[in-house]
Chains A and B, each alone.
Chain A
Amino acid sequence: MDRLCLPRLEPAGLDGWMVRLFDAIEETNLLWLTALTHDCEAAFGESLVDLVPSYTTLLVIFDPLQISAWQARQRLAKVLARLAPQEGIGAEGELHEIATWYDPSVGPDLARVAELSNLTETAVIDAHTRRDYRVFALGFSPGFAFMGLLDERLNCPRMDTPRQNVPAGSVAIAGQQTAAYPTATPGGWNLIGRTSARLFDRNRDGFSLLKVGDRVRFVAVDRPDFASEGGDTAPVPACRETGR
């Protein structure tokens, strides 16, 4: 089926257009979204402010002092008319290996996930490390990458009550997705381990380790290896139950 029968240009304010390419989350979306991102950079040049790719869409923000929404729309229509995934433009995505220490002390929801998925904790870890994931979107906090898709057996709902403070590096799952928290933030995903990888670094070229379209493989490491890479072995503080 020709997937490009769908594209829609939707208004997104004075300075934006939402380009909607798909209506469902599929790994193949990334080929098209990467090509679209690339083509928009070329088509808008100096008048481009921001491009925000996500699972099925690309939000294009332009400078309304340089071009009007109508002019931006014309450019986007031209880009879409020629759009095709191209070899070499992030089609494969860079592969990152994320060394992860899977342990109940830093992944306090391992037991819950094992129970919900009817697997042993070892089988949960095995299922999480077995496949390569794609980065579908960045958001929530700087460098926070939404990755998928998970082994269906691991699909667990978010916590009813989010944690006030999820430690940096926490590796987590929710629904069909997995992620690692770049910085300590509140969060409602199920924590199953921790990585020593620096996911967001203001001094790194490009700042974020992971980008939309990249591939990620979680690799299980033991505590000494995790610690020797600079991993923080401090356990996740227990959730305070709300008094009911």
Chain B
Amino acid sequence: MSTGTARVGFRVMRAGPLALLQDAGRFGVRHLGVTQGGPADLHAWAWANRLTGNDWGTPAVEITLGGLELQAECELTIAVTGADLSAKQDGQPLPLWCSVRIRKGARLTFGIPIAGLRAYLAVSGGFVAEPVLGSAACVVREQLGGFNGRGQRLADRDQLTVLTSTDPADGTPGAEAPELERPDYTAPAILDLLPGAQLADFTGRSLFDAFNAEWHVDDRADRMGVRLRGPSLKCGIASMISEGISLGALQVPPDGQPIALLNDRQTIGGYPRLGNLTPLAASRLAQCQPGQVVRLRPVGAENALGKHRHFINRVMARDQRPLG
């Protein structure tokens, strides 16, 4: 990415329940008990950066459940992807999944969720924050990252620094994500699960249920994990000696109701796991509203890797950028 000038890009007029700065995540420090962080929906976050011409890993704002109101302090090229949070620019509906130019003084508002839970706001050049432990990813629980470095969510009257690019080729307004990249978050989600080591310790009936039952997303859901409600799964192992937990791990505590562990999960834990949701499946689950139905589908390692690499290739392929 080209260099640019750091300046105040937005002023926060109303912060809403939860808006967090997220880069790709905090890596290389998990052995210290520091969690991964990063966007709960990697797919939508990556597309927001792509549409604004940003490099992979550029910080963008993750807006959960709406309620955010921003005022542009300079002319900017932005893109909003992910959940439909009734985003508006000066009272007019803001098109999602494409880059738009907004004028100085423009008001961006995010209202109630229509579809999905989390929207991503990227700005051409990127939001700017001092990295903490190598990352700007905001983890409230750990008091790390974000705009002030202390894990603080966006607050009223915050001023958000952006890097405005000096390269006119960056962030051309009118870049649009292909239709097939825009998920219908209200549709029942099918989540790819890579089988894990304790799979065989579950009863046959539980394995049948795991992959055939409808699972309801519980309202106990946040960036640490999402609880699923359905038939009680029984495992021969009640608990294990604590060990590292990777993204998307589907752990089953003794009550038999699985919990999918997401970006802000604790780094170690001791419940048996059915396996791991793929990163794209974890992204999809992060957009499911409480009560929504999901299904689990076992997937082979090669298939899952192929899908993941294909996604990365699509989002990184600059020459195929569809221009409006």
Contacts and interface: CB of A to CB of B under 8 A. Distances in A.
Interface stretch (A11-19, A77-85, A96-104, A156-164): A11-19
B305 A138 contact: no
A-B pairs, top 5 by smallest CB distance, nearest first, are A59-B244, A52-B244, A13-B276, A10-B197, A139-B268
A212 B31 contact: yes
Contacts of A51: 30-31
Nearest to B280: A14
Contact of A52 (B247, B268, B279, B301): B268
Contacts of B27: 49-50
B220 interface: no
Interface string A46-68: 00011111111111010011001
Contacts of B279: 14-15
A45 to B, nearest CB: 13
Nearest to B32: A208
Interface residues of B, number: 42
Contacts of B275: 11, 13
B242 interface: yes
B33 to A, nearest CB: 4
Contacts of B241: 24-25, 54-57
Nearest to A182: B33
Given A143-B33, A212-B31, A55 B278 contact: no
A133 interface: no
B157 interface: no
Interface of A: 8, 10-16, 18, 20, 24-25, 37, 49-59, 61, 64-65, 68-70, 137-144, 146, 183, 185, 200, 202, 207-208, 211-212
B133 interface: yes
A99 B153 CA distance: 35
B33 A139 contact: yes
A10 to B, nearest CB: 3
B247 A142 contact: no
B126 to A, nearest CB: 21
Given A61-B30, A138-B33, A142-B34, A18 B244 contact: yes
Contacts of A49: 27-28
Contacts of A61: 30, 246
A13 B308 contact: no
Given A141-B142, A207-B29, 18 more contacts: A13-B278, A15-B247, A49-B28, A52-B31, A52-B243, A52-B244, A52-B267, A53-B244, A54-B242, A54-B243, A137-B268, A141-B33, A142-B33, A185-B141, A202-B133, A207-B133, A208-B32, A208-B33
Contact of A140 (B33, B276, B278): B33
A86 B278 CA distance: 36
Given A13-B248, A142-B34, A18 B197 contact: yes
B194 interface: yes
20 contacts: A10-B196, A10-B197, A11-B301, A12-B249, A14-B305, A49-B28, A52-B268, A55-B243, A59-B243, A59-B245, A61-B246, A68-B302, A137-B242, A137-B268, A139-B266, A139-B268, A140-B33, A140-B268, A142-B144, A202-B132
Nearest to B306: A68
A64 B244 contact: no
A12 B33 contact: no
Contacts of B242: 54-55, 137, 139, 146
B249 A138 contact: no
Nearest to B27: A49
Contacts of B308: 14, 64
Nearest to B196: A11
Given A52-B30, A54-B241, A59-B246, A11 B197 contact: yes
Contacts of B243: 18, 52, 54-57, 59
A69 B306 CA distance: 11
Contacts of A139: 33, 242, 266-269
A115 to B, nearest CB: 27
B312 interface: yes
Nearest to B34: A142
B74 interface: no
Interface in B21-66: 27-34
Contact of B33 (A14, A58, A144): A144
B220 to A, nearest CB: 16
Interface string B240-274: 01111111110000000000000000111100000
Contacts of B141: 141, 185
B9 interface: no
